Amino acid sequence: MAPAVLIQNLQKRYGTVEAVKDVSFEVEPGEIFGLLGPNGAGKTTTLRSLCTLTTPDAGKIEVSGVSVLDNPRLARQKLGYVAQEVAIDKVLTGKELLQLQAALYHIPGAVAKQRIEKVLDLLGLQEYANKKTGTYSGGLRKRLDLAAGLLHAPDVLVLDEPTVGLDIESRFVVWDFLRKLRASGTTVLITSHYLEEIDALADRVAIIDRGIVIATGTPSQLKDRVGGDRITLRIREFSPVEEAEKAKNLLQALPFVQEIIINSAQGNSLNLVVTAQNDALITIQQALNNASLPIFGIAQSRPSLDDVYLAATGRTLMDAELAAVANRDPKAEKKQNMR
């Protein structure tokens, strides 16, 4: 069986901006596959290339064995795409909007009626179906957008940041919907920079950073590769680099410490990988106390997807988000959106 999605050596440049340098991954039929990475990592450009909205400079893209570049019309029949920004006509009712969407897909009347009722039920929209969408909350608009993307019964549903800006309750509704969709056999490709979302939903994950896939696997596999528990330590709220280096050199001598990274973007905090043991925090506190080094904060946890990203790049996803915002070029962004 062909992969639901196949992307090999994808590349895309906007002027001097190399949005996607080299992205490759496969999505198996009937799984939820997550693309995780900060804003500006290349996730949206990858999805737009997959959905025939952007022409890549190089690479191979297939959907259920159909080449997106050679046969875009057939590929679009196999894809449902829900963009990050919701775009619905506020004058129409929810049901009218879905009827319009069905007509655009040339879905026969009887089939369209059946499918509209099905997606309204699936997304809990029946009681709002005859209300104008201009009265919908943000969560309801997103659910209606998802319903529209499903009407033509695509093999693959592609979602770009489907829960951004939603409240917790609405996010859980979307999560439950995506799990039901997977159970029905539909393949879901989802991008997000919410760690807990990808961890909770995805069967497998590809982590993208600066236009390159840096890790692929199940969430458990990725976290197991990092190994050990994580300890986050702050000597001070904003520690001098010399003091952080002193603490690092001291703690590296402890037998249970496997690795230490100084996170300059978070006040020179120290991120430690340690073998799991109950007295790790006590031992670290004693070592720092003996060296007359203070402790502003310390915490121990199991590995997370953010730890995977940190191990691969030396920064957390939040750090990458902040860096992307700081380095954002409005002119380049505008040009990219126009394309």
Each residue's pLDDT tens digit, 36-94: 988 889 999 999 999 999 999 999 999 999 999 999 999 999 999 998 888 788 899 99
Instruction: Please state the rounded mean pLDDT for residues 308-335.
Output: 69
C-alpha 19: how far from its chain's center? 16
Query: What is residue 306's predicted lDDT score, i.e. its pLDDT?
Result: 84
pLDDT bin (cut points 50, 70, 90) of residue 332 is very low
Which residue spans of the chain are classified as CATH 3.30.70.100?
228-302
Q: Which residues pair with 61 in a beta bridge?
A: 7
Residue 9 confidence (pLDDT): 97
What local confidence, expressed as pLDDT, does residue 13 receive?
94
5-223: in CATH 2.60.120.470: no
Beta pairing partners, 205: 34, 217
**Pairing mode, strands 212-217 and 5-14:** unpaired
CA distance 89 to 243: 57
Cα gap 236→270, rounded to integer Å: 11
Fold (CATH) for 228-302: Alpha-Beta Plaits (3.30.70)
Cβ neighbors of 70 (< 8 A, separation 6 or more) are: none
| 279-310: b (≥16 Cβ within 10 Å) or e | ebbebbeebbeeeebeeeebebeebbbbbbbb
Answer yes or no: is pLDDT of 210 > 60: yes
Q: Which of 66-70, 166-170, 175-179, 333-337 has the highest mean pLDDT?
A: 66-70
Torsion angles phi and psi, residue 237, rounded to 5: -60, -45
Give residue-wise pLDDT tens across range 257-288.
Answer: 998 999 988 899 999 989 877 788 999 999 99
* Residue limits of CATH 3.40.50.300 in the chain: 5-223
Residue 254 has which token pair?
Answer: 């402890």
Q: How is the beta sheet containing 204-209 ordered, strand by strand?
A: 66-67, 58-63, 5-14, 17-27, 212-217, 204-209, 32-36, 187-192, 156-160, 79-82
**pTM, two decimal places:** 0.77
Cα–Cα–Cα angle for 181, 141, 159, nearest 5°? 45
- For residue 20, how far is the Cα from the chain centroid? 16
- Which secondary-structure segment (H or E) carries 80? strand 79-82
**Which tens digit of pLDDT belongs to each residue from 221-231?**
988 888 788 89
Structure tokens, 29:
């039929």
330 pLDDT higher than 70: no
The answer for residues whose C-beta is within 8 angstroms of residue 106's C-beta and 6 or more apart is: none
